[in-house]
Amino acid sequence: MRRRVVITGMGVITPLGHSPADLYASQIEGRTAVGPFTRFDARTMPTTFASEVRDFELGTYLKRDLERYSHCGVNTQFAIGATKEALADAGLLDERIGDRSRMGVYLGSGEGAEDFPALMNSVGVATDPATMTADPKKFCAAIIDVLDRLREPEVEMHTTIGHLGTLFNLDGPNIACQTACAASSQAIGEAMELIRDGDADVMAAGGAHSMLHPLGIAGFNRLTALSQRNDSPRTASRPFDLTRDGFVIGEGAGLVVLE
């Protein structure tokens, strides 16, 4: 007989609130967090706005090893905040509670942000102005001197779940999936199956990601996927409207505790 699975905790870090209560209130009141990019100069891009998480401080959620985890991308930092909220909500934040080998993480998790300045500067060094082509050997020689050994592993999609398992002593299944817009739903569904099948007792599941960086936005613009309603970003999200011209990109993290 498969076990019944219930949600016992929730946590979010979003542009519309840093807790489930704040997020709910923002939605009921019809607020929007859409506005011009603040993290980089996007004036030359077709899309100059997004829904950014603001006023997030990792130190609010993390007291130990703060300097170490400050090297992480915002995707991981948001996940840390949301996971701590969810575990606290479920009464499982204390690592002495329960069999931690039976508690795990399943996260819909995309890649972290590239070191854009290092990448672009190295391309520039390796490019012949006459032919406008980059020499791979020159590129490798240039970039190896500027990559940050602490930052580069954060680009990998599995690094975030490793941090969550270590920080919160979740020593059970540790899994990430990257299935685009379906990733968080997949993570929650498969985490539920792990509990139903007896492979875990508790799972923190959900998603965390941010592509609000030059490469991410350039990529979506090349796909012609983003709205270019730069004159009215607050009204740009209109998915079922005849005048829609693309979606409005956001960022954040949301997790539930399943038991």
The beta strands (E) that lie in 179-250 are given as 202-210
Strand-pairing partners, residue 10, are 256
**pTM for the whole structure:** 0.92
pLDDT at 13 over 90: yes
* Cβ–Cβ under 8 Å, residues 13 and 82: yes
> Can you give the pLDDT at residue 8?
98
Position 3 pLDDT exceeds 90: no
pLDDT digits (tens, 9 = 90+) for 121-154: 899 989 999 999 999 999 999 998 888 887 888 8
Would you tell me the crossing angle of helices 74-90 and 159-167 to the nearest 10 degrees? 40
Query: pLDDT per residue over 48-87, tens digit each?
Result: 999 999 999 999 999 888 888 888 899 999 999 999 999 9
What does the pLDDT read at residue 1?
65
Sheet holding 251-258, edge to edge: 7-13, 251-258, 202-210, 103-109, 174-177
CB-CB contact of 251 with 74 (8 Å): yes
> By the 8 A CB rule, do 256 and 20 touch?
no
Distance of alpha carbon 210 from alpha carbon 216, whole angstroms = 9
Residue 230: is it exposed, middle or buried by C-beta count within 10 angstroms (0-12/13-18/19+)? middle
Residue 145, pLDDT score: 87
